[in-house]
A = this chain, B = another copy of it.
Amino acid sequence: MIKLSKFPFKTLKTRPKISDNISTSILLQAWFIRQTMAWVYEYLPLWYKVLKKIEDIVRDEMNKAGYHEMLMSILTPKELWEKTERWEIPEYFKVPAWGTAEYRISPTNEENVSPILNEFIQSYKDLPTCVYHIQKKFRNEKRAKSGLLRWREFIMKDAYSFHRNIKDFEKFYKWAIKAYFNVFERLWLGKDTVMADADGWAISDKNSHEFQTFLSIWEDIIVQDSKGYCYNLEIASGIADEKNIKEKELQIKYIDSIPEIVTMEKMTSYFEHNDWQMLKTVVYKTNSWRFFSICLRWDLDINELKLSKFIKNKYGEWFKQANIEDLKKLWTVRWFITPLKDSKLKMDNYWDNSIKTVKNFFWWANIIAKSTKNINLKDLDIKEFWDFNIPKEWFTSINIKWEKLSFKKACEVWNIFHLWTKYSKPFGLSYLDKNNKMVTEVEMWCYGIWVSRLMWVIAEYFMTENGIAWPKNIAPADYYIIIIWEENIDKAIKLSKILEQDWKDVIIDDRKWRKFGFWQKVRDSELFGIPNKIIISPKTIEAWGYELKERWKKEQIIKFQ
């Protein structure tokens, strides 16, 4: 039982204005958190209670799934990070010690877990195995990406599993994700947390997964279809909206332009064309100086991920966007590239499927002061069509006919990475297979729940105008007892003890100085988000009881036991 008169906290009269988001302002006002420095927070007593409850739910589900908890070190020696070629990553802190020694405060723990498990894993029977820990991590963030998504110091539940092969993993994974679904269900986020397909596992063609909680303030976009299938916009495809597709194809024609029109913005406004009726060409070069272009409707953007997968398959090479110098070699400059059949540009031109939705494009002429109108597919130098675009919300689904894509803003709360043998190799992991033959390929996966981010997500998700309406099982307390008239403290304590026998946490608001009136106490109880309020006042005592107000319910008088 917490007696507020002796509890070190101080709710603020006004909500501090911070740019990040409203829930953080509420957390600061309620004295749940306090900023130590940019993107580093103190977890004050009430907040710490919430954290512990969340951690315990995560821990319980991990243990039930057969993961084993441990606690890895935060300080790690430089040598471990040199082995995996991660010492020089600028977002990872380096800590100078005596002499020339340098350590790292770990941002992630592959470099800890791999050598540990290397000692354990000896036989194929030891696989699969999975360990985890819940611990603070550190990142030398230059600037927070978007408000509260990233911290310099944060708490993470990171699990690492080890497998013989993908098949072994898949069997394990089917069970593992159940645990994660349970976690979000128990945190009352289940309804709006989805497992979405996301970018693939590095060199794999398969999609990865992530758990995303729908929240309007976050920046990830999840596409959800009516059958419940979800995927991150980064891998989404859609069917582009048909524009003037029913128009008649006209004859291609050069028209006068003016030399000053060197940007597309100027061109659209000068000729009063719709942006979708313009083309966009981006020229790239590969590391062996092969040039290629990607052309699409001007109102759409290229999805770099789709592009890189396509090109890797096509050429097996890395590539980057061509610069002005490169373009000179092609006898062109950026604003005059129009891969028409007669343009004689020495490069492969790939066209986004979206251009099939427009007739009579309007574009450059590869000649200064000229433009081209009535461009149609037949006029173009087309090497291949492909899906290169980032779909728009008005595109339709490729899976469900006529269904428009549904975009939802979301926050990633869980992710998984296929680490292949990236960390197991340098640390020499191996095992003896059924035939007693040494196998040196141990596949690793890692799974993360940002516990501290999760708290913010929950706060944001459950906030009301008056505070955070915490889910019952993680609220800082179950009951908030307000006493009117000091003499009733004994009754409050007696009642608390009864509630505590039932494993309930109780806060007694017995503050009497600083002019804490009844309504201030009610306000604080809502700011803290305690689900049940109890009022013991002369009026309720006259009725031999107390008033119980459960969240979202009407208040009632309960007789004292």
Which B residues touch A68, using CB under 8 A? Answer: 2, 7-8, 45
Which B residues touch A558, using CB under 8 A? Answer: none
In the docked arrangement, what's the CA distance between A95 and B71, Å? 23
Which B residues touch A34, using CB under 8 A? Answer: 116, 119
* Of A73-81, A191-199, A330-338, A460-468, the one with at least 4 CB within 8 A of chain B: A73-81
Q: Answer whether residue A254 sits at the interface, using C-beta atoms and an 8 A cutoff.
A: no
Give 16 new A-B contacts, CB below 8 A, not counting A43-B71, A122-B514: A8-B117, A8-B126, A36-B77, A36-B112, A40-B73, A42-B71, A42-B73, A45-B70, A48-B69, A48-B70, A48-B71, A74-B105, A105-B105, A123-B513, A123-B514, A136-B136
Q: Contacts A6-B129, A95-B95, A123-B514: A42 and B72 contacting too (C-beta < 8 A)?
A: yes
Which B residues touch A44, using CB under 8 A? Answer: 70, 116
In the docked arrangement, what's the CA distance between A176 and B66, Å? 40
Q: Answer whether residue A138 sits at the interface, using C-beta atoms and an 8 A cutoff.
A: yes
In the docked arrangement, what's the CA distance between A357 and B539, Å? 81
13 intermolecular pairs with C-beta atoms under 8 Å apart: A8-B120, A37-B73, A37-B76, A41-B73, A43-B71, A48-B69, A75-B138, A93-B97, A96-B96, A97-B140, A98-B142, A103-B152, A123-B513
> Cβ of A116 and Cβ of B9 under 8 Å apart?
no
Q: A residues bordering B, Cβ < 8 Å?
A: 2, 5-10, 34, 36-37, 40-45, 47-48, 51, 66, 68-77, 93-98, 103, 105, 112, 116-117, 119-120, 122-123, 125-126, 129, 131, 133, 136, 138, 140, 142, 152-153, 513-514
The one of B43, B74, B105 in contact with A70, judged by C-beta atoms closer than 8 angstroms, is B43
Which B residues touch A51, using CB under 8 A? Answer: 71
The one of B76, B94, B117, B136 in contact with A74, judged by C-beta atoms closer than 8 angstroms, is B136
Most B C-beta atoms less than 10 A away, residue of A8, A48, A94: A8
In the docked arrangement, what's the CA distance between A10 and B431, Å? 14
> Cβ of B66 and Cβ of A6 under 8 Å apart?
yes
Which B residues touch A9, using CB under 8 A? Answer: 120
